Structure 1
Amino acid sequence: MPSQTQTPGRSGPQGGYRVSTRVAPRADGPALEIVETVPDGPRVGAPLLLLHGAFGGAWMWAEHLGPYLARRGRASLAVSLRGHGGSEGRERLREITLDDYLADARFAFDLLPQAPVVVGHSLGGLLAQRLVGRSRMRGLALVCSLPPEGLALVNARAALTEPVVWLDAFVGATAPEASAMTAGARHLLFSEGLPAARVRRYAALMTPEAPRALSQAHMPGPVLSAFLTRLPTLVLGAAQDRLVWRSCTLRTAFYHAARHETLDQAGHFPMLDVGAEALGRKLVAWLESEGL
């Protein structure tokens, strides 16, 4: 039986919510950590499937965004990709491929009772885009997401503009015994306004990334424009994101004919940064405007 923990009901400005964590077994792959955050009262709209990016896990969404959504009646499910968070597969991290991550995302889709609105961050946004037209979804929200062509231009730009920081962040992060969040990575991925104590706490929860998956994310793959499938899409960028610049998120929005919004205060991880509540507000406003 999968392990499961329940967080007692909590109250908030709009209502209470519950958080449950379990490890879901699979016949064809490592068991995956699932974190569900649901309102105590009636649910509003489609469920949200939350896909984290590199170095992360489902815990990133449970910190602020999941509770924010649940207090407003919206249920969400976050999955930790294999080798991340509480999921199995850490010992085989260097063998993991981008296709493995896509299989993990599809597994999470199957856990939901209906087609979800998918929220993908960074590398998770690239995974979500590669599933457009292949997995049933009601809407798509891309948060500081890699563009449709992948990581190549993003990585090259970071290497040219901040070479010392880039080397520390990306070479150090893939070292098998190293902490995922080196000093360079912290500078690259969080805003200057985030208190140092919170940065250290988040850094301790992050993991090194699968080098094969990162390498494959540099190579363009098939991405169907959301416009062609009439899929409502929101692209959110962050003004202090030193990795995925505004020009990149604008290009992504153009490709999908999507609405574009910018978070003024946050860095590359807006669900953890000082702009966390602003992220929730913009996401909920878009969901309501689209009737999702």
Structure 2
Amino acid sequence: MPANAVPVVFIHGLWLHTSSWAPWQELFEVAGYRPIAPGWPGVARSVEEARADAKSIADRGIDDVVEHYAGIIAELPQPPIVIGHSFGGMIAEKLLGQNLGAAAIAIDAAQIKGVLPLPLSALRATFPVFGNPANKHRAVSLTAEQFRFAFGNAVSAEESDELYERWTIPAPGKPLFEAAAANFSPHSAAKVDTDNNDRGPLLLIMGGQDHTVPEAITKSTLRQYRHSTAVTDLVEFPDRGHSLTIDSGWRAVADTCLDWLSQQGL
């Protein structure tokens, strides 16, 4: 790998361990980048350890995660490309808005402040958290059935169960509560500097069959950037669900990211 290889920071979302990015890291390294996938603050090094120690990630909010990754980025030799999925996509948008990344790719990114649509499927997908207000300060796990609806609806039941067993971990409820209340809070942690003209390019990717982040949310997110002159692109995978970064079709999504980065001269 060249000494001046551009770093790429992968950021996972809720319920998936950071090791789920391993195939992406291998692909991006072959493509000449320097990929890393640090976990959220409090996330253990392995899936098994994370499942056994749910309390370590409990009560971690959006600002905690942004500060964590900002600290990691500060140690890198140059501004990285930031790629995030779900809430990791929101974190990537926030870091880009703060000019901490050379570019960002937000895949099925969680809703930011200003996004109003809240489809019924998104409510159902997040009910395991919102069903109990006390979950704001807890870490919550999904059942295989809940994962099937929220992540694996566009793949076979067998593949969904396999992904569930391989990658899922408990997730803090706090970010979901913060995002849900964003439009009622002037200083919401879910606020992104969407008007920044000086930021690097941004690619939003959406799965057309996504229950957790339906296309209405991503299209509304795109509209939040309408006042920025910086590059903001949107790509849709019509037949893909929320598991699009980890299921058998991940390579098509990853290749699209690599092609877009090449187009941006990165």
Instruction: Give the TM-score normalised by structure 1.
Output: 0.72
| Alignment partner of 1:283 out of 257, 260, 263 | 257
**What is the rounded CA distance, in whole Å, between the counterparts of 1:281 and 1:125 in structure 2?**
17
Deviation of 1:123 after TM superposition, in Å, equals 0.7
Deviation of 1:90 after TM superposition, in Å, equals 3.9
The 3-state SS of whatever aligns with 2:66 is helix
Deviation of 1:131 after TM superposition, in Å, equals 2.6
Q: 1:92 to 1:228 in 2, by over 3 A?
A: same
Q: Does 1:60 align with 2:20?
A: yes
Q: 1:224 to 1:204 in 2, by over 3 A?
A: same
**What is the rounded CA distance, in whole Å, between the counterparts of 1:178 and 1:71 in structure 2?**
36
In the TM superposition, what are the counterparts of 1:227-246 in structure 2 within 5 Å?
Answer: 228-246=197-215
Quote the residue 2:148 is aligned against: 186
**What is the rounded CA distance, in whole Å, between the counterparts of 1:278 and 1:250 in structure 2?**
21
CA contact (8 A) 1:234 1:259 kept: yes
Quote the residue 1:25 is aligned against: none
**What is the rounded CA distance, in whole Å, between the counterparts of 1:151 and 1:254 in structure 2?**
9
**What is the rounded CA distance, in whole Å, between the counterparts of 2:60 and 2:261 in structure 1?**
33
- Structure 2 segments unaligned to the other structure (5+ residues): 183-187, 227-231
Quote the residue 1:138 is aligned against: 102
In the TM superposition, what are the counterparts of 1:155-174 in structure 2 within 5 Å?
Answer: 157-158=120-121, 163=124, 167-168=127-128, 171=131
The 3-state SS of whatever aligns with 1:79 is coil
In the TM superposition, what are the counterparts of 1:49-198 in structure 2 within 5 Å?
Answer: 49-62=9-22, 64-86=23-45, 90-149=54-113, 153-154=117-118, 157-158=120-121, 163=124, 167-168=127-128, 171=131, 179-194=141-156, 196-197=158-159
Q: 1:167 to 1:136 in 2, by over 3 A?
A: closer
Per-residue CA shift, 1:34-90, capped at 9, x if unaligned?
Answer: xxxxxxx4478622111111112221111x222222222222111110233418874
Q: 1:200 to 1:171 in 2, by over 3 A?
A: farther
**What is the rounded CA distance, in whole Å, between the counterparts of 2:90 and 2:64 in structure 1?**
13
**What is the rounded CA distance, in whole Å, between the counterparts of 1:193 and 1:108 in structure 2?**
34
Identity %: 22
**What is the rounded CA distance, in whole Å, between the counterparts of 1:55 and 1:43 in structure 2?**
34
Q: Which amino acid aligns with 1:119?
A: I
CA contact (8 A) 1:235 1:261 kept: yes
Q: Which amino acid aligns with 1:180?
A: L
Q: Which amino acid aligns with 1:238?
A: G
**What is the rounded CA distance, in whole Å, between the counterparts of 1:215 and 1:278 in structure 2?**
32
Q: Which amino acid aligns with 1:212?
A: K
Quote the residue 1:37 is aligned against: none
**What is the rounded CA distance, in whole Å, between the counterparts of 2:173 and 2:199 in structure 1?**
34
Q: 1:261 to 1:44 in 2, by over 3 A?
A: farther
Per-residue CA shift, 1:258-292, capped at 9, x if unaligned?
Answer: 11101244211211023201111110111010001
CA contact (8 A) 2:96 2:199 kept: no
Deviation of 1:169 after TM superposition, in Å, equals 7.3
For CA contacts below 8 A with separation 6 or more, give which structure has more relative contact order.
Answer: 2
Once superposed, which parts of structure 1, at least 4 consecutive aligned residues long, lie more than 6 Å away?
Answer: 175-178
Per-residue CA shift, 1:158-207, capped at 9, x if unaligned?
Answer: 266xx4x65457649x6969743441222221243246156334445322
More strand, by proportion: 1
More helix, by proportion: 2
Quote the residue 2:175 is aligned against: 213
